[in-house]
Amino acid sequence: MASEMMEALELLCQEKHIDQLYLLDRLEQSLAKSYADVLHLPFGARVTIDRASGRVYVYELVPKGEEDPETGEYSEFDEVDVTPPGTSRIAAQHAKAEIRAIVRNAARVQIYEEFSQRVGDIVTGTVLQTTPDFTIIKIREGVEAELPHFDQRRFPDERNERPQGERYTHNQRIKALIIEVRDPNNAQPVVRGERQRPPIVVSRTHPDLLRRLFEVEVPEVYDGIVEIRSVAREAGVRSKVAVSSNDDHLDPVGACVGPKGSRVRTVVSELRGERVDVVLWHDDPAKCVASALSPARVSRVLIDEDKNYATVIVPDDQLSLAIGKEGQNARLAARLTGMHIDIKNESLAAGVLRDLPLTVAESDDEDEEAHRCEYVGDNGAQCRNMARPGSRFCGLHERMDGVEVSDDPDSLI
C-alpha cells in the first residue's frame, strides 16, 4: 500500500510539474500538525516519510533539559515513536489536499509573474459570472480577472470599477484595464476573501482605459505622433481628452475623431455610449482652459498662475453651456487642465473687466471660432449672417468710422 502511494505521488508530481521532495516536506509538516492535535501532544510532533517505501513514522517531541528563563521554551527534545495504525491512509488524504493547494498556489504565482508586468495594459475578456459585488472575466483558459463593483457604503475598503449604468451578461466580451495583480505570497490578505477571488483586478472606470482605447483605434496615437496630454473622466457619462501633435502638418483632434467620426465613435461604442470630447491642448494656460470648456465659446480667460486659478468670461448665452449640466462641463475642464476655474458671464463681469490691467489673455483671431453676427434689430431679431473674422458683427452691421450701417438684419445691401 505504501509503495503504491509513492508511485502515485511520483506520477502526479510529474503530471503537475511539482518537485516530489518539496511535496514530501510539505506533507511531513502538515501531518505533524494534524497528529499533534489528534494525539494531544503538548510539545508537538515530528513526522518522517520513508522516501523508498512510503511508510509514515510519527514521533512525539519530549523536552529535555531546562526551559529558557526568558522565553519559557525548550531548545532540545527527545523523540518517542508513537506511530498509530493507519498512517498511510491519513497520509494519502493529506497528500491530496496538499497537492491541490500546491497546484493552486503555483498557478497563482505563474499568473502573478506574467501579469504583474502588464499593469496598465488593456485586456479583452468574456464575462463568466456576475455577482452583486463583482464580475468574473475570463481572459484566457485558466486565467480569470475580477471587475469589482462593491457598494462603497457597505464596503468602504473595496473598489467600484464599474461605470454608472453598465450591466454585464454571460459570455459578453468586454475590454478592461489591469489595475492590480495580487501577490499570492502575501501572508496578510489585503481584501476580504482574497484567497478565493481571482488574482487579477481590472477596471472600466480608470481614465487610462480611454488612453488605451485611443491607442488601439488611432494609429497616430500608438506611433506617438499624436500625444494624449490629459484625460478627465466621469465614467459612464462624459469624458474629455486633450491632445497635441508632434507634427505641425497634422491636426490631432481630426486624427482622433477620424473620418466622419469613425474612430471616436468606436471608442464611444466600447464605453457604452459615454460621451467623449476631444479638445486641443495648448501650452498657454489661457488657451488651454478656453479649449477645455468646449463646446462653449469663451470671450476671455484671466490666469492667476500663483494660485493656479482661472477666471473665464463667456457671452451671456454661453454661460449655461460652459458650466454644463450640474456643473459637469466646468468640472471636467478643471480636471483636464489642473486649474480651479471660475466662470462668469459678460454682464456680471463688466465691472471686473473695467478695473483689470491689459494683461488679459484673449483668443487669437486665427483661433477664434466662427459665430453669428451679434447685431439685434429693433424687432428683437438677431442677424442671420456670420460675423467677420476678428469682429462681433458681419460686414453689414460692423461700425466703420463711427457710422452705423443698415439696421435691417435681413438686408444684404
Those residues whose C-beta lies under 8 Å from the C-beta of residue 116, and which sit 6 or more positions away, are 181, 183
Q: Would you list the DSSP string of 161-200?
A: -S-TT----TT-EEEEEEEEE--TT-SS-SSTTGGGS-SE
pLDDT at 385: 66
Instruction: Report if residue 63 sits inside a domain.
Output: yes
Residue ending a domain, choose from 65, 80, 107: 107
Q: What is the sign, positive or negative, of the torsion defined by CA atoms of 203, 205, 208, 209?
A: positive
In this structure, what CATH number is given to the domain that contains residue 240? 3.30.300.20
| 10 vs 229: CA distance, rounded Å | 57
Q: CB–CB of 2/53 below 8 Å?
A: yes
Instruction: Report if residue 162 sits inside a domain.
Output: yes
Instruction: Report if residue 212 sits inside a domain.
Output: no
Q: Which of 171, 189, 83 is nearest to 127 (CA)?
A: 171
Q: Structurally, how many domains does the chain consist of?
A: 5
| 147 vs 133: CA distance, rounded Å | 9
Instruction: Check whether residue 327 and residue 309 sit in a common domain.
Output: yes
Instruction: Check whether residue 79 and residue 97 sit in a common domain.
Output: yes
pLDDT at 56: 81
Residue 114, helix vs strand vs coil: helix
Instruction: Report if residue 215 sits inside a domain.
Output: no
pLDDT at 307: 87
Instruction: Report if residue 113 sits inside a domain.
Output: no
Instruction: Check whether residue 380 and residue 363 sit in a common domain.
Output: no
Instruction: Check whether residue 98 and residue 8 sit in a common domain.
Output: yes
Instruction: Check whether residue 144 and residue 241 sit in a common domain.
Output: no
Instruction: Report the C-alpha dihedral over residues 374, 380, 382, 384, rounded to 10 degrees.
Output: -160
Instruction: Check whether residue 138 and residue 45 sit in a common domain.
Output: no
Those residues whose C-beta lies under 8 Å from the C-beta of residue 250, and which sit 6 or more positions away, are 220, 225, 226
| 142 vs 111: CA distance, rounded Å | 9
**C-beta contacts of 323-327 below 8 A and 24+ residues apart:** none
pLDDT at 405: 41
**Is this prediction's pTM over 0.75?**
no
Instruction: Check whether residue 240 and residue 326 sit in a common domain.
Output: no
Residue ending a domain, choose from 107, 133, 163: 107
Instruction: Report if residue 214 sits inside a domain.
Output: no
pLDDT at 339: 92
In this structure, what CATH number is given to the domain that contains residue 22? 3.30.1480.10
pLDDT at 207: 93
pLDDT at 382: 66
Q: CB–CB of 53/136 below 8 Å?
A: no
| 380 vs 95: CA distance, rounded Å | 90
Residue ending a domain, choose from 351, 367, 383: 367
pLDDT at 73: 79
413 residues of the chain, pLDDT tens digit each: 456 767 777 887 777 667 778 778 878 888 888 888 878 888 888 888 887 777 888 888 888 877 777 776 777 888 888 888 766 666 667 767 777 777 777 778 888 888 989 999 999 999 998 988 889 999 988 889 999 998 888 888 888 999 988 899 999 999 999 999 988 877 556 666 656 788 899 999 999 999 999 999 999 999 999 999 999 999 989 999 999 999 888 999 999 999 988 999 999 999 999 999 999 999 999 999 999 998 898 988 888 888 889 989 998 888 999 999 889 999 999 999 999 999 988 887 766 555 554 334 444 444 444 566 777 766 556 666 667 667 777 766 665 334 344 444 443 33
pLDDT at 363: 43
Q: Would you list the DSSP string of 354-397?
A: HTS-S--EE--GGGPPP-B---B-TTSPBP-SBPPTTSSS-TTT
Domain that holds residue 315: 283-367
Instruction: Check whether residue 347 and residue 394 sit in a common domain.
Output: no
Radius of gyration of the chain from Cα atoms? 35
Distance separating the N- and C-terminal Cα atoms of the chain: 111
pLDDT at 125: 92
pLDDT at 351: 61
Which cell is 330 given?
Answer: 466646468
In the DSSP assignment, the letter for residue 334 is: H
Instruction: Check whether residue 241 and residue 231 sit in a common domain.
Output: yes
Q: CB–CB of 54/6 below 8 Å?
A: yes
pLDDT at 367: 42
| 145 vs 201: CA distance, rounded Å | 6
pLDDT at 370: 58
The H-or-E segment that residue 46 falls in is: strand 45-49
Lookup result for grid cell 526551559? 67
Single-letter code of the amino acid located at 182: R
Query: How many other C-beta atoms can be found within 10 angstroms of the C-beta atom of residue 339?
Result: 21
Q: Which of 178, 176, 171, 173 is nearest to 128 (CA)?
A: 171
Q: Which residues of 307-323 are buried (b: 16+ CB within 10 A; e: fewer)?
A: eeebbbbbbeebbebbb
Instruction: Report if residue 45 sits inside a domain.
Output: yes
Which cell is 41 given?
Answer: 501532544
Instruction: Check whether residue 102 and residue 10 sit in a common domain.
Output: yes
Instruction: Check whether residue 56 and residue 45 sit in a common domain.
Output: yes
In the DSSP assignment, the letter for residue 103 is: H
Q: Which of 211, 153, 141, 206 is nearest to 180 (CA)?
A: 206
Q: Which of 8, 49, 15 is nearest to 29 (CA)?
A: 49
Instruction: Check whether residue 308 and residue 277 sit in a common domain.
Output: no
Which cell is 52 given?
Answer: 523508498
How do 226-234 and 300-304 pair as beta strands?
Answer: unpaired
